[in-house]
């Protein structure tokens, strides 16, 4: 029988200083990344490539930060929601005003949120994008609260954030139910979080790209061109964003030539509904309505996006009204839905270990795209590399449905790969060679959370997410993509213990 993952069991904070030596070293290294990326109210994903606040990045960062500094984790989420629009949407980027416009594109002068978003309630005091990312935030808020319920209560954290989380959920389940089937739709590939997935190639093919002379890609200043989206794809992204902006970000009147029900976003919408139920209970409200809504949405997910022939969930193109054929990692994320039918869970686990994703055989981390697909590329952004947030979600889903051995193996692989790669943005799923930027925020944060998860699921004396020899001593982490970057010993003045904001 499926149980809700740690929903009501006691939470015992894991102080990094009580972890075994190897885990402490990794935690210290991850904490240094988070400290370096902290900007006073939020954490940038990376100082160079992503110098602003990103929506789902902040949620994942808060999930890891709760083990190190719960107050900072709470502030991360509050800072993000301070830029929420009054229609409920949480923009995918909140721009830092002190960052030069040329440091990132599309920049604030492209989105012009305070002007074009005024009718939808965009904030006047901050510039943001006009699109969204997957809703990890209610889950993050609940986990952050449980890490330090006394501090959370003293700050009024849950009570203060609860109305904003409800408005965010209502935006996605209301104006964004473009298909009328009970699922939220994305109107831009970036809203899936898996920006450059081959799953979007077919619906993007009908989009006329923007003139490349009309914009300059800042991402190529910080990343290899072979790792990034092509100019053609980027031109289509720009066209979609510009057209949505020019319709004042109004979901009711914008034409939406790209409108897709994404299984990853909707799986997180279901997880958010369950988290909102837990938050409501904690506030003395009735969480039952949220859990009933989650069950209905799970049914819609199965009815509209499940393909029994592939054993996977697929995106639905609402313009062509068909399932998209490509097999992507987003189709595995419904494992985090507690009420997923047992047969679907069984099939997803089979698919995960099968030839298209190869987990445990040809890969140790979940690739972002079908290993056998013609568009698979092990190094290009979301077209095949393994990402740590995807692997964190899959690990959580496996644990939720009782697959502890597979979850433990995935934790081991993820922690090893993160530490050995310098907390890289993403990795080749076969060789674990690092790609993208290094010292990436959610990689560091989720590594901390995976280590803490191991401490919760073992006897508390050593973390199963860190490889050990048969004698029980920490093994040396080795990585085919580069030299080992995590020190063996402690560093003076950086003991890794949980404590106050630095």
pLDDT value at residue 471: 27
So what's the pLDDT on residue 102?
Answer: 87
Q: Are 191 and 131 in contact (CB under 8 A)?
A: yes
Tokens of 389: 């947030």
The pair of structure tokens assigned to 326 is 């490509």
Please list the pLDDT of the chain residue by residue as tens digits (502 residues).
333 444 444 455 555 555 678 888 999 999 999 999 999 999 999 998 899 999 999 999 999 999 999 999 999 999 999 999 999 999 999 999 999 988 888 999 999 999 999 999 999 999 999 999 999 999 999 999 999 999 999 999 999 999 999 999 999 999 999 999 999 999 999 999 999 999 999 999 999 999 877 777 666 666 677 777 778 888 999 999 999 999 999 999 999 999 999 999 999 999 999 999 999 999 999 999 999 999 999 999 999 999 999 999 999 999 989 999 999 999 999 999 999 999 999 999 999 999 999 999 999 999 999 999 999 999 998 999 999 999 999 999 999 999 999 999 999 999 999 999 999 999 999 999 999 999 999 999 999 999 998 877 754 333 333 333 222 223 323 333 333 333 323 232 333 333 333 3
What is the pLDDT, as a whole number, of residue 212? 78
DSSP string, 338-389: TT--HHHHHHHHHHHHSTTT-BTTTBSS-BSB-TTSTT--SSSTTSS-EEHH
Catalytic residue among 177, 195, 250, 494: 195
Residues 6+ apart with CB under 8 A from 426: 368, 381, 385, 386, 387, 388, 434, 435, 436
φ, ψ (nearest 5 deg) of residue 53: -95, 125
Cβ atoms of residues 58 and 44 within 8 Å: no
Question: Residue 339 catalytic?
Answer: no
**Count of positions (residues) in the chain:** 502
CA distance 429 to 362: 9
Tell me if 187 sits within 8 A of 259, measured CB to CB.
yes
Say whether 273 is catalytic: no
pLDDT for 220 equals 63
Task: Determine contact, residues 106/146, Cβ cutoff 8 Å.
Answer: no
Neighbours of 429 (CB within 10 A): 27
pLDDT confidence of residue 234: 87
Measure Cα distances from 196 to 33, 124, 219, 232, 302 in Å.
Answer: 26, 31, 14, 12, 25
Predicted confidence at residue 203, as pLDDT, reads: 97
Provide the 3-class DSSP secondary structure of residue 295: helix
Q: Give the active site residue among 69, 227, 317, 425.
A: 425
Give yes or no for a cis peptide into 79 (omega within 30° of 0): no
For the chain, domains (ranges, CATH) are: 16-457 (1.50.10.10)
Return the half-sphere exposure (C-beta side, CA atoms, 13 A cut-off) of residue 429.
33
* CA triple 383-386-389, angle to 5 deg: 110
298: left (phi over 0), alpha (psi -120 to 50) or beta: alpha
DSSP 30-77: HHHHHHHHB-SSSB-SBTTTB-SEEHHHHHHHHHHHTTT-HHHHHHHH
């Amino acid at each position: 029988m499926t149980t809700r993952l740690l929903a009501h069991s006691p939470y015992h904070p894991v102080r990094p200083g009580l972890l075994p030596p190897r885990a402490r070293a990794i935690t210290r290294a991850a904490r240094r990344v988070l400290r370096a990326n902290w900007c006073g109210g939020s954490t940038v994903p990376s100082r160079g490539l992503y110098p602003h606040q990103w929506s789902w990045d902040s949620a994942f960062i808060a999930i890891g930060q709760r083990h190190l500094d719960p107050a900072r984790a709470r502030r991360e989420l509050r800072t993000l929601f301070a830029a929420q629009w009054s229609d409920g949407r949480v923009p995918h980027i909140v721009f830092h005003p002190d960052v030069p416009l040329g440091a990132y594109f599309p920049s604030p002068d492209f989105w012009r949120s305070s002007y074009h978003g005024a009718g939808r309630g965009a904030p006047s005091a901050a510039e943001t994008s006009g699109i969204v990312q997957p809703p990890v935030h209610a889950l993050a808020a609940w986990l952050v609260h449980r890490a330090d319920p006394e501090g959370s209560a003293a700050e009024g954290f849950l009570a203060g954030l609860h109305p904003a989380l409800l408005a965010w959920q209502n935006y996605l389940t209301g104006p964004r139910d473009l298909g009328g089937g009970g699922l939220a739709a994305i109107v831009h590939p970036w809203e899936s979080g898996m920006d450059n997935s081959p799953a979007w190639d077919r619906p993007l093919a009908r989009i006329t790209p923007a003139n490349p002379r009309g914009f300059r890609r800042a991402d190529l200043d910080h990343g290899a061109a072979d790792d990034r989206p092509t100019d053609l794809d980027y031109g289509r992204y720009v066209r979609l964003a510009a057209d949505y902006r020019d319709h004042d970000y109004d979901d009711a009147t914008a034409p939406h030539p790209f409108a897709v029900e994404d299984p990853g976003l909707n799986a997180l919408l279901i997880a958010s509904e369950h988290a909102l139920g837990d938050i409501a209970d904690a506030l003395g409200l009735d969480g039952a309505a949220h859990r009933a809504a989650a069950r209905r949405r799970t049914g819609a997910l199965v009815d509209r996006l499940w393909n029994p022939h592939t054993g996977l969930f697929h995106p639905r193109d609402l313009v062509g009204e068909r399932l998209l054929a490509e097999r992507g990692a987003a189709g595995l994320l419904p494992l985090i839905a507690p009420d997923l039918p047992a047969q679907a869970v069984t099939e997803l686990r089979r698919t995960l270990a099968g030839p298209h994703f190869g987990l445990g055989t040809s890969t140790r981390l979940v690739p972002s795209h079908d290993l056998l697909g013609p568009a698979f590329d092990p190094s290009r952004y979301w077209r095949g590399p393994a990402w740590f947030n995807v692997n964190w979600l899959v690990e959580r889903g496996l644990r939720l449905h009782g697959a502890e051995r597979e979850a433990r193996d995935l934790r081991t692989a993820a922690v090893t790969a993160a530490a050995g790669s310098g907390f890289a943005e993403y990795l080749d799923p076969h060789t674990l060679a690092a790609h993208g930027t290094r010292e990436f925020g959610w990689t560091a944060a989720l590594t901390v959370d995976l280590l803490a998860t191991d401490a919760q699921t073992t006897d508390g004396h050593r973390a199963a997410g860190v490889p050990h020899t048969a004698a029980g001593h920490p093994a040396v982490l080795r990585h085919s993509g580069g030299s080992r970057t995590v020190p063996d010993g402690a560093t003076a003045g950086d003991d890794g213990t949980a404590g106050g904001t630095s």
